Amino acid sequence: MLGQARYSSGDYGCGGHPEAVLIQDNDVFFVDESRQAVMRLGGEQLAPISEKNMSSFFEDFFKAGHAKYVSGYDPRISTYFITGYGGTVDGYEPQTVGYDVARGVWQSKYSFTPDVYANQNNMLYSAKYTSGNNIFWRHDSATRNNFYGTAANSEVEMVSKTSPSRVKVYNAVSYEGDSALWEMNPGAKTDLGQTSGTITSWSEKEGSYYASMPRNTSTGAFGSITEDFFVGTLSSTSDTFNYKSSLRLSRIGLPTVSGPPTGISVKVNENANEILSVNTSTDVIQFASNLQEGDVGQDCTISVTRDLTKSTEDVMRGHYAKIKLTNSSNAKHELYCINTHITDSKSHHPLGQQ
């Protein structure tokens, strides 16, 4: 016998994807592809749960043009799974994401992309049509990360962005967990285009695991460093473009170069020039052109900006860093948090300071 009809505000529907409708206890989940939304009907309220801090993800999810959406619910962990596959857009990949119903948050992406889910005796099962015998998966299996006979990795990616307006040096990384089997592979990435080396072993200290942050390994330019050198008064000499400093250049540390520099720009009191040579015995600097008249016989500061182009020239630095830890073990492991040790980059001036 049918009960009374109930109505909820909102113009949504499953459209051409009735296979995506899932009824679990008093909740109904479905996909509205035309509105790029994943919906939940519960407690007489219809809500687009795909908008909970995941709007941009689901825009890409639905742009893939998936031919089919299937969903399942694991009552042991109160998690709703939605899988899209059979996309028509080049480069698409089948995807599964999980929504924690109890907490109301999307908690993870998953490596399994089944063709069908089933809930039996309070247990979630899924199946994928393959050529072998491993087509079924029971989602409380003690063998982790092995779906339908195919091994997968656990991956956790985080963004370290404390004080995002400041450029920071990333000195070390650590995590709190119950094993040393996590690896930082591939390396960390910063917004300056750097990629660090990998970390495959950790030092355990009081139940946490630590490692120094490897230096940059990427090629090409990935930022620059500017250093200022006060060279005292520069006076003209009898040689063209040669100027004598009133200070001992050997004590200043001004870079000594031979010929026009590559990847280095020079300014004398904010006026562009080039340093061709530095003679620390005579305290004479040879420039590529004459100094500005206002700079001759006056106190001068030379600013040297170097492009960072060598793979091992710089430590990892940036406004933020992306760090991904992977674990290939098929046993259960817990990871509580990932930490970074940072210091301010000395070559960067924080906002509001000179």
Taking only the tens of pLDDT, the chain with its 354 residues reads 456 666 666 677 787 888 889 998 888 999 988 888 898 988 778 888 999 989 888 888 888 888 889 999 999 999 999 999 876 655 677 889 999 999 999 999 998 888 899 988 889 999 888 666 668 888 888 888 888 888 888 999 999 988 888 889 999 999 999 889 999 988 899 998 888 999 999 999 888 999 999 998 887 665 677 888 888 898 988 888 999 988 888 888 777 655 555 567 788 888 888 888 888 889 888 888 888 888 888 888 888 887 766 556 688 988 999 999 999 888 888 889 999 999 988 765 554 444
Q: Tell me 255's DSSP state.
A: P
Sheet holding 95-100: strands in order across? Answer: 68-74, 79-85, 95-100, 105-110
Among candidates 187, 219, 211, 184, which has minimal Cα distance to 314?
219
- Cα end-to-end distance, the chain, whole Å: 77
Q: Which residue in the block uniquely carries the two structure tokens 């006026």?
A: 271
Beta bridge partners, 29, equal: 22, 40
pLDDT for 325: 93
Among candidates 180, 183, 223, which has minimal Cα distance to 348?
223
Among candidates 102, 148, 140, which has minimal Cα distance to 119?
140
Contacts (Cβ under 8 Å, ≥6 apart) of 180: 201, 202, 204, 209
Buried b / exposed e along 153-190 (16+ C-beta atoms within 10 A): ebebeeebeeeeeebbbbeebbbebeeebbbbeebbbb
Cα angle 60, 66, 68 (rounded to 5 degrees) comes to: 140
Q: What fold does the segment set 228-307 form as a domain?
A: Elongation Factor Tu (Ef-tu); domain 3 (2.40.30)
pLDDT for 1: 46
Among candidates 321, 308, 310, 318, which has minimal Cα distance to 192?
318
Q: Tell me 53's DSSP state.
A: S
d(CA 144, CA 72): 19
Residue 121's region, left for phi above 0, alpha for psi from -120 to 50, else beta, is left
Contact status, residue 116 vs residue 88, Cβ threshold 8 Å: no
Q: What type of residue sits at position 237?
A: T
- β 224-236/275-279 pair status: unpaired
For the chain, the domains span: 18-152, 155-220+314-344, 228-307
CA-derived radius of gyration, the chain: 30
pLDDT for 295: 86
- Could you give the C-alpha distances from 280 to 156, 268, 277, in angstroms and in order? 53, 18, 10
- Could you give the C-alpha distances from 344 to 24, 120, 183, 319, 347, in angstroms and in order? 51, 55, 26, 10, 9
Contacts (Cβ under 8 Å, ≥6 apart) of 94: 83, 84, 85, 86, 87, 113
If one looks up domain 155-220+314-344 in CATH, what number appears? Answer: 2.60.40
d(CA 52, CA 105): 7
Q: How many residues does the chain have?
A: 354
Q: Where are the beta strands (DSSP E) in 101-253?
A: 105-110, 116-120, 123-127, 136-138, 146-147, 150-151, 154-160, 168-177, 189-190, 203-205, 208-212, 224-236, 242-245
- Could you give the C-alpha distances from 31 to 15, 72, 246, 346, in angstroms and in order? 8, 13, 76, 51
